[in-house]
C-alpha cells in the first residue's frame, strides 16, 4: 500500500484552523497542490501566512454553507480533507441552530460537491463526542450511545450522511473520530478555547486555570502529528468491502477512532503542563488549580480503541501524550510569552 500522498490536488476545508493548517503544511511539503477553504470564523490568517508564497497553495475565502463556494473549491480536486466545523460542546449548547447550520448543512454541501466532482476520496473529521453516554471503555467504533450535546448530534449526522452517500452515490468516504487533539497553533483565546492551550496560556501569565468538576474526568489526548498521519492513511488505505469484518458494522464500516489509546485525568493534565512549563519559568511551579462546577454535556471519560485504525488504515501514532504535552508547551512558550 502507498504510504505518502504526493503530487495530487487536495482540498482542505477549515484549512486556516488548528488541524487544517497542520494538514496544509504537511501536504504542501509533499508537492501536492493544496486548496484551502476557510471563512475565518474560528480559523486565523496567521495560520496560513507561511504558505501564501507557495505556488502550490491556493486560498479561497468562503463558507461551506454556500453551495456555490463548495463547488468552486472542489474543481479539479482528487482528495478532500473536510475539517471545517463549528466546534465546542458548550458553544453548541448555547447556539444549537448555528452549530447545526454549519456542521450539518455545510457538510452536506461538501458531500454533494464532492460527489459531483467525482473526487477519489472524502476524508472528514468526526468526533469522540458521538459515543455520548456509552459506558464501556475503551471506545469501540460500533458501540456508541446517545449523544449528550448538539455538537455530538451534528457529528453523528455527518457520519450517517457520509455512509448514505457512499452507499447510494458510490463516493468513498472515511470518517475520523478525533479524540481531544492538541498541539501547535491551537487557539488559546476565547470562551470556547480547548483546555490545553487555555491552561497553558493562563499559566504562562501566572494565572490559575479552572478545572471543571473534581478533576477526575479523563481524556485520550492526541497530539496533532498523529492526526495528520491518520488523515494521510485514511486517504490512501484500501477500504473494507461491503461485508463487515469483526471490527466493523454497517453503520461504522468507514469510521475510525483516531487517538493515542491512553487517558489522562484533568488533575494529571494540570500537573504535567505545570511541570513542563516550570522548565521555562520556575514561578509557574507555585500555581494550583481552581475547581469549578461540571460542564453540561461533558463525557466523563474518553479512551479509544485504535485497533481498527491500526489494522485497516495502517495508523501508527508516533507521539504519546507525554511527548506531545512537552512539544506543545515548548511551542506555546516560544509563541505566547
Q: Which three cell numbers stand for residue 233?
A: 492513511
Cα-based torsion angle of the residue sequence 115, 117, 123, 129 in order, rounded to the nearest 10 degrees: -50
Structural domains in the chain plus CATH codes? 9-182+223-259+306-318 (3.40.50.720)
The CA distance from 250 to 123, in Å, is 18
Q: Which residues are catalytic?
A: 151
Band of the pLDDT at 2, cuts 50, 70, 90? Answer: low
Question: What does the pLDDT look like over 270-329, one tens digit per residue?
Answer: 999 999 999 999 999 999 999 999 888 777 888 999 999 999 999 999 999 999 999 999
Q: Is the dihedral of CA 154, 102, 306, 11 positive or negative?
A: positive
Radius of gyration of the chain (CA): 19
pLDDT at 127: 95
| Section 188-213 average pLDDT | 91
| Section 249-277 average pLDDT | 87
Residue 222 above 70 pLDDT? yes
DSSP string, 248-280: --TTTTTEEEES-S--EEHHHHHHHHHHHHHTT
**C-alpha 189 chain-centroid distance:** 18
| Section 37-53 average pLDDT | 96
pLDDT at 3: 78
Q: Pairing relation of β-strands 79-82 and 121-127?
A: parallel
Question: What does the pLDDT look like over 122-139, one tens digit per residue?
Answer: 999 999 999 988 888 999
Contact of 176 with 234, CB cutoff 8 Å: yes
pLDDT at 243: 44
Contact of 47 with 16, CB cutoff 8 Å: yes
Considering the chain, what is the average pLDDT of its residues? 92
Q: What share of the chain is helix, strand, coil (3-state, %, to 5)?
A: 40, 15, 40
Q: Which three cell numbers stand for residue 258?
A: 483516531
Contact of 328 with 183, CB cutoff 8 Å: yes
Question: What does the pLDDT look like over 63-87, one tens digit per residue?
Answer: 999 999 999 999 999 999 999 999 8
Q: Pairing relation of β-strands 264-265 and 218-219?
A: antiparallel
Determine which helix (DSSP H) or strand (DSSP E) holds 11, and give its type and residue range.
Answer: strand 9-13
Amino acid at each position: 500500500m502507498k504510504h505518502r500522498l504526493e503530487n495530487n490536488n487536495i482540498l482542505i476545508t477549515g484549512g486556516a484552523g488548528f488541524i487544517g493548517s497542520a494538514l496544509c503544511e504537511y501536504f504542501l511539503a509533499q508537492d501536492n497542490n493544496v486548496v484551502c477553504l476557510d471563512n475565518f470564523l474560528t480559523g486565523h490568517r496567521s495560520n496560513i501566512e507561511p504558505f501564501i508564497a507557495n505556488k502550490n497553495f491556493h486560498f479561497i475565502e468562503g463558507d461551506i454553507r454556500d453551495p456555490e463556494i463548495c463547488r468552486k473549491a472542489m474543481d479539479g480536486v482528487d482528495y478532500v480533507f473536510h475539517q471545517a466545523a463549528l466546534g465546542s460542546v458548550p458553544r453548541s449548547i448555547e447556539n444549537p441552530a448555528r452549530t447545526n447550520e454549519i456542521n450539518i448543512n455545510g457538510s452536506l454541501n461538501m458531500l454533494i460537491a464532492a460527489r459531483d466532482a467525482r473526487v477519489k476520496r472524502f476524508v472528514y473529521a468526526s468526533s469522540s463526542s458521538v459515543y455520548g453516554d456509552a459506558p464501556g471503555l475503551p471506545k469501540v467504533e460500533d458501540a456508541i450511545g446517545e449523544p449528550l450535546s448538539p455538537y455530538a448530534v451534528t457529528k453523528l449526522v455527518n457520519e450517517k450522511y457520509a455512509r448514505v452517500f457512499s452507499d447510494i452515490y458510490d463516493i468513498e468516504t472515511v470518517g475520523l473520530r478525533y479524540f481531544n487533539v492538541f498541539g501547535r497553533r491551537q487557539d488559546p483565546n476565547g470562551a470556547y478555547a480547548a483546555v490545553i492551550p487555555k491552561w497553558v496560556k493562563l499559566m504562562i501569565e501566572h494565572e490559575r486555570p479552572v478545572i471543571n468538576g473534581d478533576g477526575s474526568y479523563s481524556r485520550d489526548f492526541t497530539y496533532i502529528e498523529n492526526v495528520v498521519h491518520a488523515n494521510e492513511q485514511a486517504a490512501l488505505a484500501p477500504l473494507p468491502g461491503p461485508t463487515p469484518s469483526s471490527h466493523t458494522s454497517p453503520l461504522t464500516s468507514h469510521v475510525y477512532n483516531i487517538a493515542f489509546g491512553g487517558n489522562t485525568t484533568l488533575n494529571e493534565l494540570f500537573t504535567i503542563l505545570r511541570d513542563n512549563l516550570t522548565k521555562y519559568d520556575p514561578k509557574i511551579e507555585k500555581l494550583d488549580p481552581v475547581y469549578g462546577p461540571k460542564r453540561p454535556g461533558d463525557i466523563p471519560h474518553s479512551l479509544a480503541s485504535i485497533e481498527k485504525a491500526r489494522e485497516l488504515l495502517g495508523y501508527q501514532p508516533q507521539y504519546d501524550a507525554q511527548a506531545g504535552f512537552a512539544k506543545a508547551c515548548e511551542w506555546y512558550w516560544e509563541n505566547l510569552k
